Amino acid sequence: MITENGTHTGTEAGTGQPGLSPADTAKNAAACRAVDFVEDGMRVGLGTGSTAAFMVRRLGQLVREAGLRVTGVPTSSRTAALARDEGIHVVTLAEAGWLDLTIDGADEFDPAFNLIKGGGGAHLQEKVVATASDRMIVIADPDKDVAQLGAFPLPVEVLQFGWEVTQRLIAELLEGQDVASRGITRRMGAEGPFVTDEGNFILDLHLGRIGNPPALALALNQIAGVVENGLFIDICDVVVIGHPDGHVTVRDRHSGRETSHGAVPDNAFSGLGG
């Protein structure tokens, strides 16, 4: 099983492998199907989170056993460590220059392919990497599919300096936004305030419902002290949804098509090196 921080506890990454919970089977199915979009020689943004960890392990398996050549740009220190462990060639975004695609998870996505990301605290790097890519593919389980964003708290990364003032300015902004509630909490870790890879705090906005995600995303980033928010607007191109029985649904924003794919069989990973 792969935990939220990307650590491995002994279960292989193949869809249909014994020992996976229904939720992990769904995440794993989506991750494996998304890796089918990766072609030899591509430069790929590697997302952060439990679903993305399945993707990184599947990609690493193809690198080791099928000779797939890829260059990975991780979106967090956690993902970088996992990718190196899997044998994936890792470089910085500056070294890569531009990416063919990014594969990442999401905390919520709506019918317009808007996303909330940042449950793992890496949405700043995730957004930079995703916008430096020709395509972004989101991998998720059905619980992330929502009619309207906002049930999941919206992460906003803020400077530590003056964060209390930034929080007050955000609270004032929310009074004029189409949201259901306006609670704000500073994210905490095991030993105090959660600190991102960039050394910033995260404020989680408990909004319940976001009536106009593009307007809110734009307004938040105009506040001094806000580094970036977790709303991904007009960035995602494809959503791959894994289901507990192992089958996958693929939605394409540009074509408007939705396709279904059967569960990956247990022997899907045999003969990869042939």
Is residue 127 marked as binding? no
Residue 223 in domain: yes
Selected residue with higher pLDDT from 17 and 261 = 261
How confident is the model over 235-261, as pLDDT tens digits?
A: 999 999 999 999 999 999 999 999 998
Is residue 87 marked as binding? no
Coil, helix or strand for 220?
A: helix
Q: Distance between CA atoms of 32 and 240, rounded to whole angstroms?
A: 10
Task: Kindly name the residue from 4, 65, 108, 126 that is annotated as catalytic.
Answer: 126
Domain interval for residue 189: 154-227
Residue 267 in domain: no
How many residues does the structure list for the chain? 274
Residue 3 in domain: no
CB environment 112-133: b (16+ within 10 A), e (fewer):
ebbbbbbbbbbbbbbbebbebb
Q: What's the pTM?
A: 0.88
If asked whether residues 134 and 29 sit together in one domain, one would say yes
CATH of the domain at 107: 3.40.50.1360
Q: What is the CA radius of gyration of the chain?
A: 18
What is the pairing mode between strands 133-140 and 238-242?
Answer: parallel
- Judged against a pLDDT cut of 50, whether residue 152 lies above it is answered with yes
If you average pLDDT over residues 47-60, what whole number do you get? 96
CATH of the domain at 191: 3.30.70.260
Residues 6+ apart with CB under 8 A from 211: 148, 177, 178, 179
Respond yes or no: is residue 258 known to be catalytic: no
Residue 6 in domain: no
If asked whether residues 111 and 31 sit together in one domain, one would say yes
If asked whether residues 138 and 171 sit together in one domain, one would say no
Helix axes 77-85, 50-66, angle to 10 degrees: 30
Is residue 117 marked as binding? yes
Residue 208 in domain: yes
Is residue 51 marked as binding? yes
If asked whether residues 51 and 129 sit together in one domain, one would say yes
If asked whether residues 105 and 219 sit together in one domain, one would say no
